[in-house]
Every structure is written in C-alpha cells, then in structure tokens.
Structure 1
Amino acid sequence: MAQRAVLAVLAVLLLALQWRLWVANGGVAHTHRLKGEVAAQQAENERLRARNATLDAEVQDLNSGVVAIEGRARTTMGMVKEGETFYLVVQP
C-alpha cells in the first residue's frame, strides 16, 4: 500500500514538472513565443532604422543648400519660380 502511495506521489510530481516544462511561463511554449516576438521586434527596428536614415539624409540635404529646399517646395507645395511657366500634363 505504501508503494502505491509513493508511486502516485511520484506520478503526480512528474506530471506537474512536465506541465511546468511544456505549458507554464518559462516553459518551451513560452520561450518559443518570446523568440517569435523578439524576431518581429527586430524586423520592425530595422525598418525604422532605414526610415530614420532616409529622414536624416533628407534633413541633411535640406540643411545643406537652397536647391534641395526649392525641389521640396516644387514637389510638395507646387511652387513655381518667378518667371517660369508651369505646364500640367494630364494623361488621357
């Protein structure tokens, strides 16, 4: 009878440890999910680094001269220099 009780306790302990290993926080499933989240965050960080580099280059270009500022004003605001003629070509 005592052997059965010890065996039952050991079986319950084994099941508890297996549950902790596979399901609980810090287990295999949790670790796998966290690795996926880290990979997704690293990809997002890389995308944002590239965007920041592009914006930084644009700021440096705008700070360096009048040509960049004129180009920006022409494309975003539709501005035209004095004495220029503006032609709008519409595709059929």
Structure 2
Amino acid sequence: MRFVIALLGLLLFVLQYRLWFGDGGFMERRRLQTQVAELKQEVAERRERNQALEAEVRDLKHNLAAVEERARRDLGMIEQGETFVMMVTRSAPEESRP
C-alpha cells in the first residue's frame, strides 16, 4: 500500500512539475503574455508614428507652404531678396592642461 501511495505522490509531482515548468506550462504562459503585452505596446507606438508620418507626407504633397517651411528649416534655403543671418555662439574656452 505504501508503494502505491509513493507512486501516486511521485506521479502527482511529475504532473505538477510539467504544469508549472514544462512546455506550455504556467511559467511559459506568463512569459508569453508579457511578451504579447510588450509587442502590443510597440505596435501602438509604431502605428502612432506611422499616422504622424502619413499626415506629414499628405501635408507636403498638398501644401506648398509646408514644403517651403521644410526647405527653410532643414536645408537652410532662402528666397530671393532675403538676407541670411547665422548666429554663432562661442563655446566655453577649454581649461589649460598642465
């Protein structure tokens, strides 16, 4: 009788081990749930970024003022008759080295 109880206890332990730590077990399920949540967050961030980029492309395609503003900001372009002024700030002098 003791042998049967010990065998059943061992079988219970093996089944519990597989439930918690085996393939498809509880621990793997928790890890996968966490991974899915992280991926959903990343997808949401990328979707938001894509929407902003699509809006910018749409604006650049249909709005000449947006193209001009972008060229001025990114490329430093000026119109004929305008004067370009660049403000340069001095960096702090380096300390003399001994």
Q: Same fold (TM over 0.5)?
A: yes
CA distance in 2 between partners of 1:91 and 1:49 (Å): 39
Where structure 1 has 5 or more consecutive residues not aligned to the other structure, the ranges are none
Candidates 57, 66, 69, aligned match of 1:68: 66
RMSD, aligned α-carbons: 1.3
Map of 2:40 onto structure 1: 42
> Shift of the alpha carbon at 1:89?
2.7
> Shift of the alpha carbon at 1:5?
2.3
CA distance in 2 between partners of 1:10 and 1:79 (Å): 82
Question: Which 4+ stretches in 1 moved above 6 angstroms?
Answer: none
CA distance in 2 between partners of 1:19 and 1:63 (Å): 61
User: Which structure's residues are more often helix, by fraction?
Assistant: 1
> Shift of the alpha carbon at 1:91?
4.6
Map 1:45-56 to 2 at 5 A: 45-56=43-54
- Which amino acid in 2 is paired with 1:7? I
- Which amino acid in 2 is paired with 1:58? E
Where structure 2 has 5 or more consecutive residues not aligned to the other structure, the ranges are 91-98
TM normalised by structure 2 equals: 0.83
> Shift of the alpha carbon at 1:81?
1.2
Map 1:1-92 to 2 at 5 A: 3-91=1-89
> Shift of the alpha carbon at 1:88?
1.8
- Which amino acid in 1 is paired with 2:39? Q
